[in-house]
Amino acid sequence: MKISGATKVYGIFGHPVSHSFSPAMHNAAFEALGLDCVYVAFDVQPKDLEASAGALRTMSVAGINVTVPHKESVIPFLDTVSQEAELVGAVNTVKNDGGVLKGYNTDVGGFLRALKEDIGCEPGGMRVALLGAGGAARAVLTALCMNGAREINVINRTVAKAQGLADEFQNSFEQIVINAHGLANADSVESCLAGADLLVNCTSAGMKGVESLALPLEALGSETLVYDLVYNPLETELVAAARRRGNLAETGLSMLLYQGAESFEIWTGARAPVEVMKQALSF
Ligand code: NAP
């Protein structure tokens, strides 16, 4: 990769951020398309977020991804926010359009593309069991609601958070049935799983170092699709168990890939070289 006086700078704001896979993925994509662009990680502390967002304008940084802990708190420092990002309440992609900072949430489109391309799932008309009520769950709920899911059961360890999320989205999407359940209520978890066309794990459970959820997977129908947003390890216990039962199941690496592809397309207007980006993610 050659850096010239005209190289456009892209990057990611996070804290910590050195573990991010995004620099490898985006630099591989820039190189593959011969674009004079570079992508770097910026470790931005929360107290410095406003000044750092302002520096995007003064230093003509072309675009950034935003990750933990800044996805929500960056919004007041942007000029516009997409409909998806507004519904999620979080931004993961910013484009600097001639000094105008535009915020997007590509986790929404990334999740949808992962469903469609990896497990052939179209959420329209589906009944969904959604585990979790944090930031990732909000992006998945937005994607499912905007794409015509029929019924969504939000299941979370802290039931009040599930209830808050379900109530908020029910107000915006009256035609969809959205209910909240506690993870500790074994009967209701079992009936949510039994009635689901799609089971999505949006909790951190099952990540390397975090115990997996004990779920009654025997309640799942044989056609139920399973998507686990967790991507480290590459095959989570949930995905392995679902596959053993014969269910089609996938981990979250594809969502990571497609959210990156969508960011790339927003910034450059070029079609993202998905295969190259996928190879860069192989860890
Ligand atoms: P978050 O906002 O901190 O939310 C964490 C969620 O997990 C909450 O619902 C929390 O329940 C639940 N949880 C955590 N530990 C649990 C446990 N031991 N048992 C049961 N529930 C537990 O995090 P997030 O941003 O939503 O991220 C969640 C996961 O999604 C992470 O693993 C993240 O890496 C992954 N993710 C993947 C992608 C992708 O592209 N594939 C994108 C975004 C996120 P409480 O409310 O009860 O605390």
- Say whether both 121 and 87 belong to one domain: no
The residue range of the domain holding 23 is: 8-105+256-281
User: Is 74 within the bounds of a domain?
Assistant: yes
- Say whether both 151 and 273 belong to one domain: no
pLDDT score of 2? 86
Active site residue 102: no
- Say whether both 115 and 235 belong to one domain: yes
Any ligand 1 atom below 6 A from CB of 132: yes
Any ligand 1 atom below 6 A from CB of 229: yes
pLDDT score of 43? 98
pLDDT score of 108? 98
User: Is 164 within the bounds of a domain?
Assistant: yes
User: Is 231 within the bounds of a domain?
Assistant: yes
Nearest CA to ligand 1 atom 44: 136
pLDDT score of 66? 98
Question: What is the 8-class DSSP label of residue 133?
Answer: -
- Say whether both 193 and 273 belong to one domain: no
- Say whether both 127 and 236 belong to one domain: yes
- Say whether both 198 and 120 belong to one domain: yes
- Say whether both 95 and 114 belong to one domain: no
Paired tokens of 233 = 């390890």
**pLDDT tens string for the chain (283 positions)?**
789 999 999 999 999 999 999 999 999 999 999 999 999 999 999 999 999 999 999 999 999 999 999 999 999 999 999 999 999 999 999 999 999 999 999 999 999 999 999 889 999 999 999 999 999 999 999 999 999 999 999 999 999 999 999 999 999 999 999 999 999 999 999 999 999 999 999 999 999 999 999 999 999 999 999 999 999 999 999 999 999 999 999 999 999 999 999 999 999 999 999 999 999 998 5
What's the CA-to-centroid distance between 240 and ligand 1, angstroms?
19
Instruction: Give me the long-range contacts of 119-124 (CB less than 8 A, separation at least 24).
Output: 119/225, 119/227, 119/248, 119/249, 119/250, 120/248, 121/198, 121/225, 121/227, 122/147, 123/147, 123/148, 123/149, 123/198, 124/148, 124/149
Any ligand 1 atom below 6 A from CB of 189: no
User: Is 1 within the bounds of a domain?
Assistant: no
Please state, in angstroms and rounded to a whole number, the distance separating the CA atoms of residues 14 and 65: 9
User: Is 65 within the bounds of a domain?
Assistant: yes
Angle at 85 between CA 81 and CA 87, to 5 degrees: 115
What's the CA-to-centroid distance between 221 and ligand 1, angstroms?
25
Q: Check which CATH number belongs to the domain holding 167 and give it.
A: 3.40.50.720
Contacts of 53 (CB under 8 A, 6+ apart): 74, 77, 78, 94, 101
What's the CA-to-centroid distance between 52 and ligand 1, angstroms?
27
pLDDT score of 184? 97
Using DSSP, state whether 34 is helix, strand or coil.
coil
Q: How many domains does the chain contain in total?
A: 2
Contact 187, 210 (CB under 8 A): no
Strand 177-182: give its sheet, edge to edge: 177-182, 151-156, 127-131, 198-201, 225-228, 249-251
**Pocket perturbation via mutation, ligand 1, pick of 153, 203, 232, 255 by most ligand atoms within 8 A of CB:** 203
Any ligand 1 atom below 6 A from CB of 210: yes
From 8, 71, 102, 278, the catalytic residue? 71
- Say whether both 142 and 243 belong to one domain: yes
pLDDT score of 94? 98
Please state, in angstroms and rounded to a whole number, the distance separating the CA atoms of residues 254 and 72: 23
- Say whether both 160 and 274 belong to one domain: no
Paired tokens of 40 = 């770097």
Q: Which atom of ligand 1 is nearest to the CA of 251?
A: 41
User: Is 2 within the bounds of a domain?
Assistant: no
Q: What is the pTM of this model?
A: 0.95
Q: Check which CATH number belongs to the domain holding 90 and give it.
A: 3.40.50.10860
Nearest CA to ligand 1 atom 42: 136
Q: Which atom of ligand 1 is nearest to the CA of 68?
A: 25
- Say whether both 211 and 272 belong to one domain: no
- Say whether both 236 and 261 belong to one domain: no
pLDDT score of 1? 73
User: Is 46 within the bounds of a domain?
Assistant: yes
Any ligand 1 atom below 6 A from CB of 203: yes
- Say whether both 135 and 101 belong to one domain: no
